[in-house]
């Protein structure tokens, strides 16, 4: 089970519209934590780890720049150097 700290949960709560533009899927920190656990969201510590994650998932990122990967709708910048990756 993943541990999501408040910075991760707040990031997803505030920015969920990036991945789910139609409607909010969570309305508080508890719901955010349950949702992230359910979809097995991952927290990584650098842009390079975002690339590694996509490669491990079998997604072709060979021609993608780091900026492009970080702008993917399932990638959320937490603001402290870490990134949250949510498979929608």
pLDDT tens-digit series, residues 39-80:
999 999 999 999 999 999 999 898 999 999 999 999 999 999
Q: So where are the chain's domains?
A: 6-85
pTM assigned to the model: 0.91
Whether 36 and 19 have beta carbons less than 8 Å apart is answered as: no
3-state helix, strand, coil in the chain (%, to 5): 45, 10, 45
Q: Are 88 and 40 in contact (CB under 8 A)?
A: no
Question: In this predicted structure, what is the pLDDT of residue 80?
Answer: 96
Residues written for the chain: 88
């Amino acid at each position: 089970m993943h541990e999501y700290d408040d910075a991760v949960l707040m990031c997803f709560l505030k920015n969920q519209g990036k991945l789910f533009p139609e409607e909010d899927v969570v309305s508080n920190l508890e719901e955010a934590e349950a949702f992230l656990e359910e979809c097995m969201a991952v927290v990584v510590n650098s842009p390079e780890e975002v690339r590694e994650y996509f490669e491990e998932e079998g997604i072709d990122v060979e021609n993608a720049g780091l900026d492009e990967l970080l702008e993917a709708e399932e990638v959320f910048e937490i603001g402290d150097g870490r990134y949250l990756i949510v498979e929608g």
